[in-house]
Amino acid sequence: MTLWRLIIFFVGTIVVLSALLPVSDASVLESPFVAVLERIGVPYAADIMNFVILTAILSAANSGLYASSRMLWSLADKKTISPIFAKLTKRGVPLNAVLFSMLGGVLALFSSIIAPDTVYIVLVSISGLAVVIVWMSISAAQFLFRRRYINEGNSINDLAYHTPLYPFVPIVSFMLCLASCIGIAFDPTQRIALYCGIPFILFCYGSYYLTQTIKKRGVDHEE
């Protein structure tokens, strides 16, 4: 059901806009939604779309704040980062993690005003790369999990969800995301994401394995 919703709302929207908006009228200076609504005579089209966009931005910011603060709490709870982010209020809210996430969001927002052509572009590029890398990880995890699940003697029928057209779908998904990463390397405005993102990923993996090694040696020393 989720897949069909995505196809209808995203792919379907693109098809409808492409059918109603001539190529000669396409422009990055005006929203294609506004252009289409104005062509069919909808009054206050720009105001309506601005309200919709503002609502969507607030919704995305709210979900991003929730995900960021809970991720900080999870890392702190597993003693991967400072335990200060693991503290909870009486209502179970990781307040320190929420405040720190809000601080990062506010700084990113100001960068769109103070340095829109430098810092803001870098942040947007890194954010886009992070999304692609996450989906590559999801595709790889799905592919490897099901193979190992079957090799351990389990039945596919026991799974609550069966990936359709396995292994074609996770492989294609991974390759398309990989193609996006390769495409970033050829875009001068987005290339900075690779320069910052790849070293950061390597740093995270290196820090994790270093932390695990130190913990293991500590346990062995106590024994």
Give the C-alpha distances (Å, rounded to integers) separating 113 from 50, 99, 128, 158, 176. Answer: 19, 22, 20, 52, 33
3-state secondary structure 101-170: HHHHHHHHHHHHHHCCCCHHHHHHHHHHHHHHHHHHHHHHHHHHHHHHHHHCCCCHHHCCCCCCCCCHHH
* Residue 125, C-beta contacts closer than 8 angstroms, at least 6 positions apart: 184, 189, 190, 191, 192, 193
Question: What's the rounded Cα separation, in Å, for the pair 155 and 148?
Answer: 11
Q: How confident is the model at residue 73 (pLDDT cuts 50, 70, 90)?
A: very high
More confident residue, 39 or 85: 85
pLDDT at 143 over 80: yes
Residues 166-195 have pLDDT tens digits of: 888 889 999 998 998 888 888 887 788 888
Q: Measuring CA to CA, which residue among 210, 212, 199, 201 is closest to residue 78?
A: 212
Q: What is the pTM of this model?
A: 0.63
Residue with tokens 């991003």: 64
Pair of tokens at residue 201:
């990923």
Give the C-alpha distances (Å, rounded to integers) separating 183 from 112, 214, 223. Answer: 24, 39, 51
- What would the mean pLDDT of 21-26 be, rounded to a whole number? 69
- What would the mean pLDDT of 41-46 be, rounded to a whole number? 76
pLDDT at 27 over 70: no
Question: What's the rounded Cα separation, in Å, for the pair 66 and 49?
Answer: 26
Q: How confident is the model at residue 219 (pLDDT cuts 50, 70, 90)?
A: low
Q: How confident is the model at residue 28 (pLDDT cuts 50, 70, 90)?
A: low
Residues 110-122 have pLDDT tens digits of: 877 787 777 777 7
Question: What's the rounded Cα separation, in Å, for the pair 197 and 185?
Answer: 12
pLDDT at 1 over 70: no
pLDDT at 29 over 60: no
In whole numbers, what is the pLDDT of the chain averaged over residues?
82
